[in-house]
Chain A
Amino acid sequence: MKQSLQFDDAGRLRHLLTIEGLSRQTILEILDTAESFLSVGEREIKKIPLLRGKTVVNLFFESSTRTRTTFEIAAKRLSADVINLNVSASSTSKGETLLDTIRNLEAMHTDLFVVRHAESGAAHMIARHLPAHVHIINAGDGRHAHPTQGLLDVFTIRRYKGAFEKLKVAIVGDVLHSRVARSQIHALNALGVTELRVIAPKTLLPTAVEKLGVRPYTRMEEGLDGVDVVMMLRLQRERMQGALIPSEQEYFNLYGLTPAKLALTAKDAIVMHPGPMNRGLEIDSAVADGPQSVILPQVTYGIAVRMAVMALIMGGSAEPAGGRR
């Protein structure tokens, strides 16, 4: 269960593969660095020369608009050269091809790969087989992890809610299939929230989920009671086929976030969603566009957080990024 793959011998963050195993200090350093990058996007000239001459390859084996775009903007604001590659899943259904693809690109002297792949563990496998000077950021692997999303979510929470220690947080929806949820859970637990809940029907809750350090709820009304932060998850429409839920209507009735259900939370609770949203399925438009929603700021902050991660792992920081767990 060693997490050392992410760290070099000096304890500096070398890759970002998962939030699991990151210390509170490491996470806070990333958030503080992101804070300092926030203003870059508001300037006339939105660029700093931190990663000039570095080559970043966005390697997406699974389609994405938002994540890929924010990574691209983040790298460009740091003055790196960015290549976007969308590799169709069919041409890389075999692992050797995946490794071959990566090795070919590595031979072109890439400094950082931002990888998204449909299989859990893909980023770990790539990191294990590349030379140490090449960095990996996991931009989502299967159901396992989406660490920059988890980080931008806690960044957003800190901006709106301040200290984590007094917060009650609920994550609602398809936890079973969600890499976002797993990363959020690791981040929020490392930061020491008072209480972390997950809310979903049993068909969408993983076995032994409480071992991740959360309290499971199957009734939304109970789970939302008094929480300060509601983090909604996207529900893939194909889940209806696997007999996991009966219909969109029933799901919305039971687990859709409506103004009435939101009223059960603490009165100044914030509502988050990693996007893209299914309005009328997991969230009511009145909530998504309402005053408690911080969904669009999440996107803005995503750029600063990704800049911070890139800067830190590519040697932008001279200090070791916190200790190991």
Chain B
Amino acid sequence: MSLVIKGGHLIDPAHGVDGKKDLFVDDAGFVVGVGKAPAGFKARKTIEARGRIVCPGLVDLRARLREPGLEHKATIESEVHAAVAAGITTLCCPPDTYPVIDTPAMAQMIQSRAWRFELAFIHPLGALTQGLEGKRLTDMEALDEAGCVGFTNALAPITDTLVLRRAMEYAATLELTVFLHAEDPWLRNSGCVHEGESGTRLGLPGIPEAAETVAVARDLALIEQTGCRAHFCGLSSARAVAMVAEAQKQGLPVSADVTAHHLHLTEHDIGDFNTQCHVRPPLRGTHDRKGLRKALKTGVISAICSDHQPHEPDAKLAPFAQAEPGISGLETLLPLTLKLVNEKLLTLPEAIALLTHKPAEIIGVDTGHLGIGATADICIFDPDARWTLTEDKLVSRGHNTPFLGQEFRGRVTHTLIGGKLVFGLDTVD
């Protein structure tokens, strides 16, 4: 249905748009006019966006939907509803499902299941090795054909450096991007928190910063040798980010993202064993948070992601180390990013860029912008709306978040996919 979004403040960082402009979408769901309607355009529907920000639908590089395999935690259906309620229209799911996404059939199944709901677009990340076992390569070309936008061993980083080297060489052959979780398993050992002040106070086994920096150093050496395009997922320490910055300066094809929660929380938020703060990689020190924030500003980190990991309540009802790691993060992705704008770290266009066209570039998908001809995946939010996160407001099946009870400024009011309204706050509240 042809559509005009009227009176809103349009921010489209990919095209340098930042101003009051109407947006026109045709029957087929494509953007046909920015600021002024094309000749003969007639809108059958109008969305009033006065006082709202209109921006591209958000792109989340890492969200676990738990299907297939862990449907007691969440399902594709439950989580795509949560995604659009959060303004997210595109998301990537890591391959550590059960079974693993290491065959084209699995990659296709996840996409076709997601598409039944006609909500968010889901792009799988394919497994870098079969079964994520770190031994044999997957059929990367076939997985790429089947829609995988990158390849990763997820939270089971390849330990055998020869296998990693070959995986990178092979990915480089096909010009595919490898997503890396920088974590040395021996240094991590049985750790569950940052090795620092809080871990020492609480008597919890720590994960040293070196678990990340040693892995980054190793990976960078192999990236340099193989010429593979690589993306570091969820960096947690200031030193690791500095190493990536140095590599970028030398011209290596590396990018990096950070989770929204690592930009706000530190090891001290664990308090007295708050299992909602048990995440992997762990929340690190104040100095690290500062380093991550600085890297956003300088562009070393080019995407903020939710690292959404919904859990059933029991998963967190355990002593800290035994509680399952992860935060249900889809619905705090935009609010936490807007907080960085309120805190004057980022401008609003910079913040939106980190959630839209920059992550889209990392996965090489034509989305995250609203130029003429772009698919009309759109997020509209009220930048001044104040609201408090409570369990009943969460659409995700996972209620595991340390941000419950926190007040946020800025709330999604409409989400459109291909010009179709898939979420409207007024119709939900």
Chain A residues with CB under 8 Å of chain B are 1-3, 5, 20, 93-96, 98-99, 117, 119-122, 124-125, 129, 141-145, 179, 182, 206-209, 211-212
Which residues of the other chain, A, contact B271 by a CB distance below 8 angstroms? 1-2
Question: Is the Cβ of B200 less than 8 Å from the Cβ of A2?
Answer: no
Q: Given the complex of chains A and B, what is the CA–CA distance between A96 and B204 in angstroms? A: 20
Which residues of the other chain, A, contact B320 by a CB distance below 8 angstroms? 119-121, 125
Count of chain B residues near A, Cβ 8 A: 25
Q: Considering the complex, give the chain B residue whose CB is closest to the CB of A207.
A: B195
Which residues of the other chain, A, contact B203 by a CB distance below 8 angstroms? 120, 141-145, 179, 182
Question: Is the Cβ of B317 less than 8 Å from the Cβ of A208?
Answer: no
Which residues of the other chain, A, contact B208 by a CB distance below 8 angstroms? 207
Question: Is the Cβ of B272 less than 8 Å from the Cβ of A1?
Answer: yes
Q: Considering the complex, give the chain B residue whose CB is closest to the CB of A206.
A: B200
Which residues of the other chain, B, contact A120 by a CB distance below 8 angstroms? 202-204, 273, 319-321
- Interface membership of B429, Cβ < 8 A: no
Question: Is the Cβ of B196 less than 8 Å from the Cβ of A94?
Answer: no
Question: Is the Cβ of B272 less than 8 Å from the Cβ of A5?
Answer: yes
B375 CB to closest chain A CB (Å) equals 44
Question: Is the Cβ of A96 less than 8 Å from the Cβ of B273?
Answer: no
Question: Is the Cβ of A144 less than 8 Å from the Cβ of B202?
Answer: yes
Q: Given the complex of chains A and B, what is the CA–CA distance between A99 and B323 in angstroms? A: 13
Taken residue by residue from 157 to 201, chain B's Cβ proximity to chain A (1 for < 8 Å, 0 otherwise) reads as 000000000000000000000000000000000000001110111
Q: Given the complex of chains A and B, what is the CA–CA distance between A99 and B291 in angstroms? A: 39
14 A-B contact pairs sorted by A residue (CB < 8 Å): A2-B271, A2-B272, A3-B272, A95-B322, A98-B319, A119-B318, A122-B319, A129-B317, A142-B319, A142-B321, A144-B204, A182-B203, A206-B199, A212-B200
Residues A211 and B272 in contact in the complex (CB < 8 Å), given A95-B319, A119-B320, A122-B319: no
Which residues of the other chain, B, contact A93 by a CB distance below 8 angstroms? 322
20 extra interface residue pairs, beta carbon distance < 8 Å, beyond A119-B319, A119-B322, A179-B203 = A94-B322, A95-B318, A95-B322, A96-B317, A98-B318, A117-B319, A120-B320, A121-B202, A121-B204, A124-B272, A125-B275, A125-B317, A125-B318, A143-B204, A182-B203, A206-B199, A208-B196, A208-B197, A208-B200, A209-B200
Q: Considering the complex, give the chain A residue whose CB is closest to the CB of B272.
A: A124
- Interface membership of B281, Cβ < 8 A: no
- Interface membership of B314, Cβ < 8 A: yes
Q: Of A122, A144, A207, which contacts B206 at CB under 8 A?
A: A207
Q: Considering the complex, give the chain A residue whose CB is closest to the CB of B206.
A: A207
Which residues of the other chain, B, contact A117 by a CB distance below 8 angstroms? 319
Which residues of the other chain, A, contact B294 by a CB distance below 8 angstroms? none
- Interface membership of B409, Cβ < 8 A: no
Q: Given the complex of chains A and B, what is the CA–CA distance between A212 and B196 in angstroms? A: 11
Q: Considering the complex, give the chain A residue whose CB is closest to the CB of B313.
A: A96
Taken residue by residue from 323 to 360, chain B's Cβ proximity to chain A (1 for < 8 Å, 0 otherwise) reads as 10000000000000000000000000000000000000
- Interface membership of B268, Cβ < 8 A: yes
Which residues of the other chain, A, contact B206 by a CB distance below 8 angstroms? 206-207
> What are the nearest 7 A-B pairs in CB distance?
A95-B318, A143-B203, A144-B203, A119-B319, A121-B273, A206-B200, A120-B203
Q: Considering the complex, give the chain B residue whose CB is closest to the CB of A209.
A: B200
Which residues of the other chain, B, contact A5 by a CB distance below 8 angstroms? 272
Which residues of the other chain, A, contact B197 by a CB distance below 8 angstroms? 207-208, 211
Question: Is the Cβ of B201 less than 8 Å from the Cβ of A20?
Answer: yes
Q: Considering the complex, give the chain B residue whose CB is closest to the CB of A118.
A: B319
Which residues of the other chain, A, contact B202 by a CB distance below 8 angstroms? 120-121, 144
A261 CB to closest chain B CB (Å) equals 26
Q: Given the complex of chains A and B, what is the CA–CA distance between A2 and B208 in angstroms? A: 26
Which residues of the other chain, A, contact B199 by a CB distance below 8 angstroms? 206-207
Q: Of B196, B273, B318, which contacts A207 at CB under 8 A?
A: B196
Q: Considering the complex, give the chain A residue whose CB is closest to the CB of B192.
A: A120
Select the residue from B196, B205, B271, B272 with max chain A CB neighbours within 10 A: B272
Select the residue from B200, B268, B323 with max chain A CB neighbours within 10 A: B200
B66 CB to closest chain A CB (Å) equals 18
Q: Given the complex of chains A and B, what is the CA–CA distance between A263 and B268 in angstroms? A: 41
Select the residue from B196, B197, B206, B319 with max chain A CB neighbours within 10 A: B319
Which residues of the other chain, B, contact A94 by a CB distance below 8 angstroms? 318, 322
Residues A212 and B201 in contact in the complex (CB < 8 Å), given A5-B272, A95-B323, A125-B273: yes
B297 CB to closest chain A CB (Å) equals 28
A7 CB to closest chain B CB (Å) equals 13
Q: Given the complex of chains A and B, what is the CA–CA distance between A179 and B202 in angstroms? A: 9
Q: Considering the complex, give the chain B residue whose CB is closest to the CB of A183.
A: B203
Within 8 A of A (CB), among B207-232: 208
Which residues of the other chain, A, contact B323 by a CB distance below 8 angstroms? 95
Which residues of the other chain, A, contact B272 by a CB distance below 8 angstroms? 1-3, 5, 121, 124
B206 CB to closest chain A CB (Å) equals 6
Q: Given the complex of chains A and B, what is the CA–CA distance between A3 and B206 in angstroms? A: 22
Q: Given the complex of chains A and B, what is the CA–CA distance between A212 and B314 in angstroms? A: 32
Which residues of the other chain, B, contact A141 by a CB distance below 8 angstroms? 203, 319
Q: Given the complex of chains A and B, what is the CA–CA distance between A144 and B201 in angstroms? A: 7
Which residues of the other chain, B, contact A206 by a CB distance below 8 angstroms? 199-200, 206
Select the residue from A121, A141, A179 with max chain B CB neighbours within 10 A: A121
Which residues of the other chain, A, contact B273 by a CB distance below 8 angstroms? 120-121, 124-125
